[in-house]
């Protein structure tokens, strides 16, 4: 099972959508988390609405999407990551914490740049519409990641 951490500055929209979508399509092959350098108080309601509109279940309880600090994943007892993927340019430019390593192997770092739908102004319909193309881009990128990643090939979910 692969462990993947999605990072964004606010951890309210892009990283939340990536975490939730990968947990949905990755099933027992991966576990995704998300975090931010300066996390918001909670996930953006429009990000959660977008996921629900695409029939992506929103987990409840401990595994429910929440805004978290990336420092939580640099702690000694944090899950060991195989990949750390930044999904915003601001987070990619920041000095990340040192991630816990297994047998001296650091997680693979990737950067996937997506525009911030939470930064779009205007009325609720205009803001809602900004989430759709970003989610579509995240979905495409994750689907490609799964298709090209050996850990997902020829393995049925448990």
Residues involved in catalysis: 8, 88, 96
Calpha distance 113→106 (Å, rounded): 22
As given in the structure block, the two tokens for residue 109 are 């770092």
How far are the Cα atoms of 50, 88, 136 from residue 115, in angstroms, in the given order? 15, 7, 12
Neighbours of 75 (CB within 10 A): 11
Q: State residue 32 phi and psi, 5-degree precision.
A: -110, 150
**Tokens found for residue 110:** 């990737």
Which residues does residue 131 pair with via DSSP β-bridges, in sequence order?
A: none
Query: What are the tokens at 21?
Result: 């979508």
Integer Cα distance of 4 and 19 in angstroms: 8
Residue 117: strand, helix, or coil: helix
């Amino acid at each position: 099972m692969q462990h993947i951490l999605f990072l964004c500055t606010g951890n309210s929209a892009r990283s939340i959508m990536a975490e939730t979508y990968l947990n949905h399509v990755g099933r027992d092959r991966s576990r995704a988390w998300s975090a931010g350098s300066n996390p918001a108080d909670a996930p953006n309601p429009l990000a959660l609405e977008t996921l629900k509109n695409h029939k992506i279940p929103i987990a409840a309880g401990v595994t429910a999407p929440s805004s978290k600090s990336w420092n939580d994943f640099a702690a000694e007892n944090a899950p060991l990551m195989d990949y750390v993927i930044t999904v915003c340019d601001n987070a990619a430019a920041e000095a990340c914490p040192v991630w816990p390593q297994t047998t001296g192997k650091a997680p693979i770092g990737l950067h996937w740049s997506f525009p911030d739908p939470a930064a779009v102004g205007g009325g609720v319909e205009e803001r809602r519409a900004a989430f759709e193309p970003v989610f579509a881009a995240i979905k495409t990128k994750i689907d490609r990641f799964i298709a090209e990643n050996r850990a997902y090939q020829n393995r049925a979910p448990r």
